Each structure stands twice: as structure tokens, then as C-alpha cells.
Structure 1
Amino acid sequence: WLDEHRAEPDERRRPDGGLCMLAGTGGTTGRPKGVRLTEDNMMTSTALALMSYPFGERPRYLALAPLTHSAGVLTFPILSLGGEVVIMPAPDIGEFLALIERHRITHAFLPPTVIYGVLDHPDLDSRDLSSLRCLWYGAAPMSPTRLEEALTRIGPVLGQLFGQTEAPNMIATLAPAEHFHDDGSMATERFGSAGRPTPLTTVAIMAEDGSLLSRGERGEIVVRGPLVMDGYHENPTATAEVSAHGWHHTGDIGYLDDDGYLFVVDRAKDMIITGGFNVYSAEVEQALLAHPAVKDSAVIGLPDPKWGERVTAAVELRAGHDADTEELIAFVKERIGSVKAPKEIEIWTELPRSKVGKILKTEVRGAFS
């Protein structure tokens, strides 16, 4: 095949490299859209990964999560360094740990839910994970409590990435070293952040009228730069909506602090208005995740004749742990107050998730309807 490949350059190449990938959005809030990613988008994402995280001459990457999304894009910086990619045919945490030891894996990507499974797995402490240089996490918020546990038990190798299909992976990064202060203590105040905007990406916070907000003010996270997609395939209406005011709209609510760290508060569609107050579902989920019995949670707003919307939660417990709903409600009230605490909680055996590990809130909402 290589012998037959034409060596001369393709004169049809566009200045931005042209379309190289048609990726599907996660579909967690509705029907997936086709995202047009160019060669420049993918080269930018690869360059930002190489700038932001630790690599060696021949990295070895272990893919447990599906290669159709972040886990696949992260193979590009590995391959650009002549590295090795080990692909798992099926998700198995015990095998994942064994393969890290067997292949001396240096890099991997896991959604937070799967990292929780790693922390709960009986083989974790008996496996040699010393080869790991960077265990990426992203795609959903991670519990600061469990992140601290992971940094202690897996090692100081966790690196966060924040992006979306439309701006693959590298809108903001929190490298392993940034999880710690210079004196070696954990920088727990950063654990709730998505890191800092990457060098080739401009990030701002926008109000509903299109004006840009100051540091500390909450609004929609918007992005500019060569990381941003070419548009949605054959969907000019959605493309125009997502690029209003000349910025790519992520659909996430957040703020930038005085040190330039980006904090993602919630998905705009997931904000709950109850009794006239804005309640961010992600904040309630993080409060629930601080309970030692809670493995994961999904918080939604349901119609309520008194409150407009009532804060409602579905909770998945950790194996071997018990908790009743009243205990969980009281636990959240103590941390973030009664207005934000769920009025109703159901304990589920398993929360519905997409193939990339994101909780499907449309299915959670449908089950409560």
C-alpha cells in the first residue's frame, strides 16, 4: 500500500487542511449532530496535548474508553511520538490494571465514573502502576474527594482535560503537576476547576446579550481559535446558533477566577430554577458525591406547582455501602443549604450512561416522568 501511495502533494488541500473527521456529538441532551473537524483542528489538539502534559520518547497508551471520542483523539499525540497504542476489546477494570503493569503503560484516559471503579477495585493496590506518566480524566465533573484519593493511591499522574467534540479535548488543561503546590501539598482549591485555557485558545465568559463578563462572573463559556470546528454537517441553523456573536458557544456555564483557572458550573440546559433561585445541578451532584456511600449521581429539575421546579436526584451507591434517601438529603443540606438540596432522591442500581461514560440525563428525566 505504501509503494502505491502518491508522493506528490495534493493541490486540492485547503488552507485549513480541509475536512478530516466527521465526529458525532455525545447525544446526552438529544439527537447527535455531525461535527466537521479539519486537519488544523486535529493538529491543534495534538500540539496542545504535547504542550500541556508529560510525555517521553516512546509513550505507551492504553485505550479502555471507546476510540470514537476523547480516547481516540488522544492517540494522535502518542502516535506523533512513535508511541504504542494498546486497545482493549471490552471494558474490564481488572484487565485494565493488569495491562498497565504488563505493557508498562505511560498514558490512558478514563471518565471519572470509571476512575471511581478503579479506586473501588480490589486489585488496585497490588498492581505496579509506576510506569504511568499521565492518566487523563474528563468528559464529566470529578468528585474532588475521589480525585484526592486517586492522586494518593494511583499516583501524582492525573491530568484533567476539558473540551468537547466541537473543540476536541484541549479548551483547558490541568496538568498533573498543577494538582500540587510547589511544596508538594495538594492544590485542592484547583480540584473543582477545569484547568487554564490552552495557549492557542481564547476562552471568555458571555452573558445572554452577547457581552463578555468580568473575572468571577458566571455566564456561558465561549471559545475562539484553531481548535474550534468547521461547523455542523449539513446543519446551517445549528451552526449559526452555536457561533453567535463570533464565538463558539460551549453550552456550559462557568467562570474564570483571578488566577485564570476555568470553573465549569453546569450545562446551561441542566440549570434548575426553584423558588426563584438558580440551582446548578453539578453543584448538587458534587455535594452528593462527597458522601462516602455515593458512587455517582444525576440531578435534574422536575415541574413542581409550588417551586416551579423541584431539585430531584437519582443516586448510584458504591458496592457494599448503604444509605437512605433522608440521610442523603440531610447530608446535602448541611453542605450547600436547603434551597439546593434535593426534594426527592431515588437510589438506582445503575445510572444510564453513554458509551463514553457520560450520564444520560434525558433517560433519567424520562424515568421520573
Structure 2
Amino acid sequence: MNIAQHIERVCRQMPEQIALVFEERSSTYRDLNASANRMANLLRSLGIGLGDRVALLLPNTPAFVIAYLGAMKIGAIAVTLNVMLKPAELTVMLTDCGAPLLITTAELAAGLQRDKLPDLRQVVIAEGDPGADASLDELLSQNSAEAEAIELTVNTPAVIVYTSGTTGGPKGAVLSHGNVIANMQAKNDYLGTQSDDRLLLFLPLFHCFGQNAILNNALNAGATVVLQRRFDATLAIEAVIRERITMFNAVPTVYARLLALKTDIRALETVRLFLSAGAPMSATLAEHWWQVYNKPIHEGYGLTESSPFATYNHHQRYKLGSVGTPIAGVDIRIVDAEGNELPPGERGEILIRGHNVMLGYWNRPEATAQAIRDGWLHTGDVGLHDDEGYLYVVDRLKDVVIVAGFNVYPTEVEDVLYGHPAVAEAAIYGVPDEIQGEIVKAKIVVKPGHAVSAEELRLFCRERLANYKVPRIVEIVDSLPKNPTGKILKRVLRDTKTSIQYT
């Protein structure tokens, strides 16, 4: 098996079928496969082989798709990195994965801390002036368009996607070829994806949702992907109309934005399925959408560590507010703090078992052992299921804040704040937001004899963190609630309403 074999199969069956549309330029499956073959041969010429890491720091462009598929063909591991991260954050991840090769843009390469990356042997530029680095286009043109995906095992690592949990820093979730293939095939089966479907992809390809649930789902079915660099409501609606999109995948914030803009129902008439994942969707938003557009938003549930999907709310048996039932080959349990399985209607931690569960965290055996116990992935999410097995996600055990589908690790932000000379104590947590789902809030205790404004602290964070991690709300307080051992009680903070906020 090999993830890249799906485009080879479609290329044999329908070579002239349109695979990719980007900025109104189209590529057939023949074109895409040939480009992926050139990439595979290029990687080999650069000394990359089975198990070597190829870091991709790329926006949503055809270069990402080609580099990803080329890496899959030769059994290299694609490390897909968040383009919004700051140089210091990227250094941590590139050091951890030990990638000898990075494919990126000239703009993103300019900020790299190369002197701190001894394993990084070469940087290849896919967009912009390469300067002293190599040009991806030039290198590809020098390589043959003939290649074939090698046979791999179900447990051969395919991708490393960095995610943040509640203990330690960012961790690289290792997904196998078996994980990804089983997940995309299950999604194809549930959604009925066909070669005449057209999927709009504006969610980031570095994220598991865009990568597996949209890109691989579409390519496996021989469907067409209409790729956009990022979400822009106007451009997205224009693309839906122009390209006659049939499947629309997004996070809840996108649907909230479209509702706020009062998007004309006629603009969405070609869409047969609306899907949402990446963050919890409020029942109010889901119900409002259904009332306005006369079609439900089908939620799925999962996480990076589950490739990502574990459940899906069926379009044949849809239940409002539920994230559905387990996909084929996946089991879900709800357990109490002692690990005892709970009956329908009782809340507990959601556990996942199946072909979708990651191999583990890269270089983190202890974190892997904590996350996967007796074959069950402990999600840290709280949920319940009804008598028909439909899952409802009701809360999170973890303190991770989900901002528009992106995870924000509180300790990481707190560590930055503690680097400010005026900060004595800091607590980061999420508060509900109608557009983003959640936003980051900080409560700060200032050191005696010091003074600092909320805006100063936000600027301090903005210089060191990706924008979505920067606290939107900063509140200066006299003290923070703590338990007898001195641990800050974030539960109390979340439950406390204050009248003074600095934004």
C-alpha cells in the first residue's frame, strides 16, 4: 500500500480528469501524477529515501500537493508545518523531526534560524526569489516524469503533524500510510464521494483536516479539488458559483461568517454536502444554518491523532447537535476517571480505537504511552452517547483552546508571558466567541513596583507567537484562584465573569 497509489490508479482510469484547480489554472490527473513523479525523482537525487523527513512549510498551492505526493511515492515522511508559526516555534519542530530538507517559500525562508538547525542540509524554494537556495521549479524540470509509488506496509510512517497537548511542548503525531488510507476510504464511503464531485479547499493543507479529509478524500475518488490559499468569504462564494462546488468542508467559524454576510442561498445551490470539523459547532449555529439554507451541516469528530476522523453524522440518519457514530473500523468508548465504561447518557472521557489511531508521537515514547493505553487513544475530550450510539461532545478535559480550528497550548503562551519582566503570574484559557469558536484570554498578576498595560503584553506576545495564539483579551487582576497546592484553578477563571476587560 501507498497513499500515492490513488492518483496513479485514477491517472490510469481517467488521465484527463481535472484533479486540481488553482487560481483558475487546471491540472489533470496525468499532469499531477507526472509532477509528483518528478518530485519523487528529485527527492531521491537529493539523497532522500525511505523514512527520511521532508519538511513542508508551504501555503495552499500546487507545490504542497506535489511535494506531499512525491514524498509519499518514495516512502519519505512529510512533516507538514504551520505557516503561521514564528521562527523560534519552527526551530523547535524542525529540530525535533531532524528533517534534512525543507521546501518552503522565499518569504518564509527569510525568517529561518538556520544556525540553530544543524540537521537541515538544504532549503528549496517553491515560490518567490530563491536567492542562494535552489528553485523547486528548476529542479523539477531536471527530473524524469516517470516513477511509481513503492509498496509499503500498513505501519510505514507517512506524515508528522505537530499538535499541542496539555503536557510538554508541541508533539509530532506520526500517521501511517494505513492510518491515512483507511481514513480517507471510510470518508469516501460515508460521503459517497464520486469523480464528478468538486471540493473547495481553503482550509490549510498543513492541517490534518485539509490534508486527509479533503485532499486525499477527493484524490482517492478521482474528484476535483479547487484550491485556495486561504479562506476569504467573497472568494470562496465566487469559487462555489464559478466551479459549481458540490462538497463544502469548513470549520464552524466559516459557517458563522457566511451567515453573518447573509450569503444568498442561490450561491450555494450546487453544494450537496456541507461538512464541519476542527472545533465544536454550537447547536444554535447548526440550527440557524439549516433554517436559512434548508440543508444541515454534517459534523465529524476526531483529532490529529485519529487521522483525523473517528465519527461522522450521517446524511441519511442526521441528528442535530451530534457528531455522529463511529466510522467503519473504529470503536468509541465513554469512560469514567477509573476507566469504567459508562452507559448511554452519562458523561465521560472519549476513547478511540481503530485503524485511524496514530502510531505515536515522534521521539516521545512516554507521551505516546500516556495517550494510547491498551490500544485506546485517550482524547481528553468529554462526551456522551445516546441509545443509538450517536456521540455528543460536551466539554474538554484538556485546557487546549481551539481558535478557529487551531489548537493553542496555554502553557506555551504562559511561558512567553512569564518572560516579561512585569509579569508575576499568568493564566491562559479560552472564552467562547461567536466567530472563532473560542478566543484566547489572559489573566495577569503584575509584580509589585511594576506597571504594564494590556496592549504592551499583547504586543510582547505578538512578537513571539503566531497571531492566533496571542491573547485577544488581557485582564490585569490582583490575584488568581488557586487550590491548596498552589495550582491555578482555570475552571474558576472560566466561570468568573468580570466587568473590566482590556482588548
TM over 0.5: yes
Measured against aligned partners, the alpha-carbon deviations of 1:294-353 in whole angstroms (never above 9, x if no partner) come to 87555989843799666446xxxxxxxxxxxxxxxxxxxxxxxxxxx643366787xxxx
Structure 1: which amino acid aligns with 2:373? A
2:250 to 97, 102, 110: 110
| d(CA) in 1 for partners of 2:189, 2:239 | 27
Match of 2:497 in 1: 343
Aligned-pair CA distance for 1:72: 2.0
Q: Which moved more, 1:221-230 or 1:304-313?
A: 304-313
Match of 1:44 in 2: 182
| d(CA) in 2 for partners of 1:348, 1:121 | 28
CA contact (8 A) 2:194 2:223 kept: no
Measured against aligned partners, the alpha-carbon deviations of 1:111-153 in whole angstroms (never above 9, x if no partner) come to 111210011114x116421111212111111121111121232
The structure, 1 or 2, with the larger RCO (C-alpha pairs under 8 Å, 6+ apart) is: 1
Number of residue pairs matched by the alignment: 292
Match of 2:481 in 1: 304
- 2:192 pairs with 1:192: no
- 2:342 pairs with 1:213: yes
Aligned-pair CA distance for 1:202: 0.7
Aligned-pair CA distance for 1:206: 2.1
| d(CA) in 1 for partners of 2:194, 2:219 | 12
Classify 1:148/1:30 alpha carbon distance in 2 versus 1 (closer, same or farther; 3 Å). farther
Classify 1:153/1:27 alpha carbon distance in 2 versus 1 (closer, same or farther; 3 Å). farther
Mapping of 1:1-369 within 5 angstroms?
2=37, 5-6=146-147, 10=151, 13-14=152-153, 16-25=154-163, 31-69=169-207, 70-73=209-212, 74-122=214-262, 124-125=263-264, 127-179=266-318, 190-270=319-399, 285=432, 296-297=437-438, 303-304=480-481, 311-312=492-493, 342-344=496-498
| d(CA) in 2 for partners of 1:133, 1:237 | 44
Structure 2: which amino acid aligns with 1:176? H
Aligned-pair CA distance for 1:214: 2.4
| Structure 1: gaps of 5 or more residues | 180-189, 272-280, 314-340, 350-369
* Partner SS state of residue 268, structure 2: coil
Aligned residues: percent identity?
A: 30
| d(CA) in 1 for partners of 2:190, 2:501 | 39
* Partner SS state of residue 90, structure 1: coil
Aligned-pair CA distance for 1:258: 1.3
Match of 1:353 in 2: none
| Structure 2: gaps of 5 or more residues | 1-33, 38-143, 401-428, 444-479
| d(CA) in 2 for partners of 1:163, 1:309 | 25
Structure 2: which amino acid aligns with 1:304? P
Structure 2: which amino acid aligns with 1:343? K
| d(CA) in 1 for partners of 2:189, 2:369 | 31
Classify 1:177/1:156 alpha carbon distance in 2 versus 1 (closer, same or farther; 3 Å). farther
Across the aligned residues of Structure 1 and Structure 2, the Cα RMSD in angstroms comes to 3.2
| d(CA) in 2 for partners of 1:92, 1:199 | 34
* Partner SS state of residue 210, structure 1: coil
Q: Which moved more, 1:148-157 or 1:261-270?
A: 148-157
CA contact (8 A) 1:221 1:249 kept: yes
CA contact (8 A) 1:158 1:176 kept: no
Classify 1:192/1:157 alpha carbon distance in 2 versus 1 (closer, same or farther; 3 Å). closer
CA contact (8 A) 1:53 1:159 kept: no
Classify 1:126/1:246 alpha carbon distance in 2 versus 1 (closer, same or farther; 3 Å). closer
Normalised by the length of structure 1, the TM-score is 0.70
* Partner SS state of residue 269, structure 1: coil
Classify 1:256/1:52 alpha carbon distance in 2 versus 1 (closer, same or farther; 3 Å). same
CA contact (8 A) 2:481 2:493 kept: no
Structure 1: which amino acid aligns with 2:498? E
CA contact (8 A) 1:204 1:222 kept: yes
| Larger Rg, first or second structure (1 or 2) | 2
* Partner SS state of residue 211, structure 2: helix
Q: Which moved more, 1:153-162 or 1:43-52?
A: 153-162
Measured against aligned partners, the alpha-carbon deviations of 1:2-54 in whole angstroms (never above 9, x if no partner) come to 576455954xx33x151111112256987321111111101111111112224
Structure 2: which amino acid aligns with 1:110? A
CA contact (8 A) 2:306 2:358 kept: yes
| d(CA) in 2 for partners of 1:56, 1:7 | 24
| d(CA) in 2 for partners of 1:345, 1:268 | 27
* Partner SS state of residue 274, structure 2: strand
CA contact (8 A) 1:304 1:310 kept: no
Classify 1:26/1:127 alpha carbon distance in 2 versus 1 (closer, same or farther; 3 Å). farther
Aligned-pair CA distance for 1:97: 0.8
Match of 1:337 in 2: none
